[in-house]
């Protein structure tokens, strides 16, 4: 598997909300619900608080489990549109809320019976009535029998007539429709609770996907910049190789085998150093200067009487980081347009210095310059350097170039001074 494919797989995973955050959101939802309901019960003074507390906790745990199951369904549409995700949440929350409501009724069923026995029975005793449930589950209210008034023709010694016990249905046994109504009433509240969590989940998911998209964009931008840097750097090597082969051919044709052999050895050293580095990575300035020494050694074979080299590199800047082969087009231009066109010795200078936390690299010569109105191919090398610096540093680096006063040409690269990887 390539590195690029690995990056795509990592990005696929990052599009999902981490499971840890999902658990935290679910736990936070039901802990908040538990705290609020418990506080409400304490404020209104509900009876049997201890019995209600652990049952309420059990219902909340069951609710958290059902919510986790709801998440397993929602994550199947994580990459769909917001409309599909919202519709899925609305649909899935319905059976989930009914399940929680059913669990709630099962857990609190015995508490309702205890409330009936402890509260209603006590009230009945105080009032002298009887409250009970019959076999069908109806709650009955029974009043004790009352004596009838004695008719006028009855003597006092005769027994009073007593009415029968009077019974009223206080609460009929719940039918199937009634049970469903009670279940729906509880489920409705849980339904909106689950929708609140779903909204929170979708909001967190949108944030995670936005961060993943931003990270993916950054990776693509970095990959594009790396490709651009490779392209710009590899534009240098064929051009130089073409010139070198032409020079070798000339040396061989003119019978200068010794100089040709020296040039071949210098070319070998140059390419060994230039190809050893990754094109998109920065190199130590001393290595970049060493590479230019190899290049100039090749050109000194071509122009032994006309090329003089002067390099100034302070020891403090030797480990400064610069883009690899950033000086090559500038040095090549000096050789091509100054040394090669001159009939007298030309000095090519390379200088490095630091100023205000900026690194300055100067390549200059005292050759004939560009001449009036001409640039030839001189601008290609400068354009290459500018493009590489822009791809690497953006607006933090720039190039200043132009004719020197009197004679020659000077180019100065100004870039951030990076010593963080230095020794």
CB atoms within 10 A of CB 330: 27
Q: What is the pLDDT of residues 318-338, one digit of tens each?
A: 999 998 888 988 998 898 889
Its pTM stands at 0.49
Tokens representing 169 are 């249905």
Q: What is the pLDDT of residues 60-116, one digit of tens each?
A: 999 999 999 999 999 999 888 889 999 999 999 999 999 998 898 888 776 666 666
> Which of the pair, 144 or 319, is modelled with greater confidence?
319
Please, what are the domains in the chain? 3-123+174-219 (no CATH), 235-416 (3.30.565.10)
Tokens representing 233 are 């750097």
pLDDT of residue 176: 59
* Alpha-carbon span 56 to 66, nearest angstrom: 15
Contact 234, 279 (CB under 8 A): yes
* Alpha-carbon span 371 to 408, nearest angstrom: 10
Phi then psi for residue 7, to 5 deg, are -60, -40
> Residue range 273-293: average pLDDT?
79
Tokens representing 103 are 């669990």
């Amino acid at each position: 598997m390539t590195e690029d494919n690995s990056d795509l797989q990592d990005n696929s995973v990052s599009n999902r909300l981490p499971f840890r955050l999902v658990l935290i959101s679910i736990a936070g939802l039901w802990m908040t619900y538990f705290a609020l309901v418990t506080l409400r019960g304490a404020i209104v003074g509900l009876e049997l608080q201890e019995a209600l507390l652990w049952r309420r906790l059990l219902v909340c745990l069951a609710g958290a489990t059902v919510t986790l199951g709801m998440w397993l369904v929602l994550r199947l549409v994580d990459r769909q549109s917001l409309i599909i995700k919202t519709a899925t949440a609305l649909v899935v929350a319905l059976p989930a809320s009914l399940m929680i409501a059913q669990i709630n009724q099962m857990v609190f069923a015995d508490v309702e019976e205890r409330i009936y026995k402890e509260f209603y029975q006590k009230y009945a005793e105080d009032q002298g009535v009887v409250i009970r449930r019959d076999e069908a589950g109806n709650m009955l209210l029974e009043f004790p029998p009352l004596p009838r008034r004695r008719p006028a023709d009855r003597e006092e010694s005769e027994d009073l007539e007593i009415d029968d016990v009077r019974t009223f249905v206080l609460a009929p046994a719940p039918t199937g429709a009634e049970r469903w109504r009670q279940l729906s009433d509880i489920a409705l509240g849980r339904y909106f609770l689950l929708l609140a969590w779903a909204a929170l989940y979708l909001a967190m998911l949108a944030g995670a996907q936005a961060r993943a998209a931003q990270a993916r964009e950054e990776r693509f931008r970095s990959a594009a910049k790396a490709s651009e840097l490779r392209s710009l750097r590899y534009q240098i090597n064929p051009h130089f190789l073409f010139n070198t082969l032409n020079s070798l051919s000339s040396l061989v044709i003119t019978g200068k085998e010794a100089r040709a052999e020296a040039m071949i050895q210098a070319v070998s050293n140059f390419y060994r150093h230039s190809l050893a580095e990754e094109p998109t990575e920065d190199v130590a300035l001393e290595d970049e200067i060493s590479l230019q020494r190899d290049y100039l050694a090749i050109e000194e074979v071509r122009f032994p009487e006309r090329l003089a080299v002067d390099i100034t590199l302070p020891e403090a800047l030797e480990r400064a980081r610069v883009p690899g082969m950033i000086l090559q087009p500038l040095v090549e231009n000096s050789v091509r347009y100054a040394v090669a066109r001159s009939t007298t010795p030309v000095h090519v200078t390379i200088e490095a210095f630091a100023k205000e936390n900026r690194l300055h690299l100067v390549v200059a010569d005292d050759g004939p310059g560009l001449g009036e109105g001409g640039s030839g191919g001189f601008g290609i090398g400068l354009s290459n350097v500018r493009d590489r610096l822009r791809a690497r540093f953006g607006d933090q680096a720039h190039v200043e170039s132009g004719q020197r006063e009197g004679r020659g040409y000077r180019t100065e690269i100004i870039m951030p001074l990076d010593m963080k990887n230095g020794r």
